[in-house]
Amino acid sequence: QKEVEQNSGPLSVPEGAIASLNCTYSDRGSQSFFWYRQYSGKSPELIMFIYSNGDKEDGRFTAQLNKASQYVSLLIRDSQPSDSATYLCAVNLDTGNQFYFGTGTSLTVIP
CA distance readout (Å), 73 to 1, 55, 111: 20, 9, 24
Give the interface size with other proteins as a residue count (CB under 8 A). 25
Question: Do 104 and 36 meet the contact criterion of CB atoms below 8 Å apart?
Answer: no
Cα–Cα dist 27/46, whole Å: 22
**51: Cα separation from own chain's centroid:** 13
Q: How far is the CB of 59 from other proteins (least distance, A)?
A: 17
Q: Is 34 in the site for other proteins (CB under 8 A)?
A: yes
Q: Considering only residues 66-95, where is the footprint of other proteins by CB under 8 A?
A: 88, 90, 92, 94-95
Q: Is 29 in the site for other proteins (CB under 8 A)?
A: no
Q: How far is the CB of 97 from other proteins (least distance, A)?
A: 5
Cα–Cα dist 41/22, whole Å: 23
Binding site for other proteins (CB under 8 A): 31-32, 34, 36, 42-46, 49, 51, 88, 90, 92, 94-104
